[in-house]
């Protein structure tokens, strides 16, 4: 063939040095659209992580509250049932008032232990902020800033 037409090798045969192909160029609008889509996905994933973390802390708070409720129930029922039986048994060897004080002291100790365990559970649940999700968002922002500087 004669002519001045230049033949280019097929796209899959071009070397890296031949430069970017027509398909490697994206308009600013396309790049902004991709960035927006990726940022939207990232935000949804971070919100899902935060939701999961808050749910976990909520379960801990529920357990702590339940244990505190159990402490109150044990204290109340203990005064009614066990106190009467303990007082009756101790009154055989002590005065009735002394037997009543001993039984109540034991029940208060049990209630205090349950309350301490429940309080510890509540402390583990607070503050109710999604710490892992916040750390992840910070890392994501650092990565975005780092890539933006390149």
Q: Note the pLDDT tens digit of each residue in 120-130.
A: 988 887 776 77
The radius of gyration of the chain from alpha carbons, rounded to an integer in Å, stands at 35
For 107: left if phi > 0, alpha if psi spans -120 to 50, otherwise beta; the answer is: alpha
Q: What is the pLDDT of residues 58-100, one digit of tens each?
A: 888 889 889 999 998 887 887 788 778 888 998 999 999 898 8
Cis peptide before 127 (omega within 30 of 0): yes
Cα(80)–Cα(116) distance, integer angstroms: 23
Whether the predicted pLDDT of 113 surpasses 90: yes
pLDDT at residue number 116 = 94
Q: What is the pLDDT of residues 6-38, one digit of tens each?
A: 555 444 444 454 545 555 677 888 888 888 888
Q: How far out from the chain centre does Cα 90 lie? A: 50
pLDDT exceeds cutoff 90 at 112: yes
Give the per-residue pLDDT at 14: 47
Count of residues making up the chain: 150
Among 118, 117, 116, 104, CA closest to 75? 104
């Amino acid at each position: 063939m004669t002519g001045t037409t230049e033949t280019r090798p097929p796209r899959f045969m071009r070397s890296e040095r031949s430069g970017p192909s027509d398909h490697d160029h994206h308009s600013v609008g396309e790049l902004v659209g991709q960035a927006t889509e990726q940022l939207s996905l990232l935000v949804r994933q971070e919100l899902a992580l935060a939701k999961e973390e808050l749910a976990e802390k909520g379960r801990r708070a529920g357990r702590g509250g339940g244990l505190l409720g159990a402490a109150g129930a044990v204290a109340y029922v203990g005064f009614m049932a066990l106190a009467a039986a303990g007082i009756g048994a101790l009154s055989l060897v002590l005065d009735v008032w002394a037997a009543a004080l001993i039984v109540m002291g034991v029940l208060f100790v049990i209630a205090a232990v349950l309350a301490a365990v429940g309080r510890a559970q509540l402390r583990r649940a607070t503050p109710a902020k999604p710490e892992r999700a916040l750390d992840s968002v910070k890392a994501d922002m650092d990565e975005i800033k780092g890539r933006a500087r390149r």
